[in-house]
Amino acid sequence: MAILADKDTRLLVQGITGREGLFHTQQMIAYGQQFGLKTVVGGVTPGKGGEWVEGLPVFDTVKDARESTGANATVIFVPARFFADAVYEAIDAGIELIVAITEGVPIADMMRVHQVLSMSESRMVGPNCPGLLTPGQAKIGIMPGYIAQPGNVGLVSRSGTLTYEVMYALTQRGMGQSTCVGIGGDPVRGTGFVDVLQLFEEDPDTDKVVLIGEIGGQDEEKAAQFIREHMTKPVVAFIAGKAAPEGRTMGHAGALIEGGVGTHKSKVEALQSANVKVASHPEEIPDLIASWG
């Protein structure tokens, strides 16, 4: 098993005819082919319905694409100005999983999207995220699949680059991953730490969890509370941004300390109080995972 995406995922690409959409469609197809899987089943670009890209049919609407292909997931590569409408269309079509790679989404747009999501049966990962990867089963987004291997360590992260670094470090130590999820670093997002932690807790094939956070907001503190009250599986964490000055964003729009809230210290202390082992730098994570036995 895995969380969110597996070998049975049937994926659409919204924005498949754009430069980024096309490039990463090729990468996702190639990843699936290694394991004899066909994850990507079609694409959507308004006005280009009836065309074919990489042997995949292109549709004008998500509704048409879902009806023709049986898709249950979509990945969004459209520009930020089209983002909200792309998500609404996926929700209206009944897509279960929406993975939003698009960056630069205005907070006001995302707040409206978040409200609509809350009244639907769809789940969204992102925006401004690398997507997710279930090694050997499904790649949705831009994560480099070749650095991962199947295993029992779940990974959830706000940082794309640190996700890749930790994936590689785990693989080098022979510690495979069940699913790697990049939730994105924007202040308003579809899926948070607690959502993913709950899925990992319920997944029989995930035995240990790695959480990669950063300064800004209170998501890590909420995650610590959830871990303390609900998780039975060991968790190892790393928090980026220790040297960041207050009032300055560091990397992500959500990585901002204001009024003393969301500091590196507060996050580390909250996690440690929940019996989470917190690494001083990413390279320590495999050792801390191994220390759980």
For residue range 34-56, list pLDDT tens digits in order. 999 999 999 999 999 999 999 99
The pTM of the full predicted model, rounded to 2 decimals, is: 0.94
Domain boundary among 91, 125, 159: 125
Reported in sequence order, the residue ranges of the chain that DSSP labels E, i.e. its strands, are 11-14, 40-44, 52-53, 56-59, 73-76, 97-100, 123-125, 131-134, 138-141, 150-157, 177-182, 208-214, 235-240, 277-279
Domain boundary among 125, 152, 185: 125
Look at residue 51 and tell me if it is in a domain. Answer: yes
Q: Are residues 166 and 55 in the same domain?
A: no
Look at residue 205 and tell me if it is in a domain. Answer: yes
Residue numbers of the domain that contains 36: 11-125
Question: What pLDDT does residue 261 have?
Answer: 57
Instruction: Quote the number of domains for the chain.
Output: 2
Q: Are residues 196 and 87 in the same domain?
A: no
Q: How confident is the model at residue 1 (pLDDT cuts 50, 70, 90)?
A: low
DSSP category for residue 158: S
Q: Are residues 115 and 37 in the same domain?
A: yes
Residue numbers annotated as active site: 252
Q: How confident is the model at residue 241 (pLDDT cuts 50, 70, 90)?
A: confident
pLDDT for 59 beyond 70: yes
Concatenating the DSSP letter of every residue in 221-244 gives: HHHHHHHHHH--S-EEEEEE-TTP
Mean pLDDT is lowest, of 58-67, 106-115, 234-243, 278-287, for 234-243
Q: Are residues 101 and 170 in the same domain?
A: no
Look at residue 131 and tell me if it is in a domain. Answer: no
Question: What pLDDT does residue 260 have?
Answer: 54
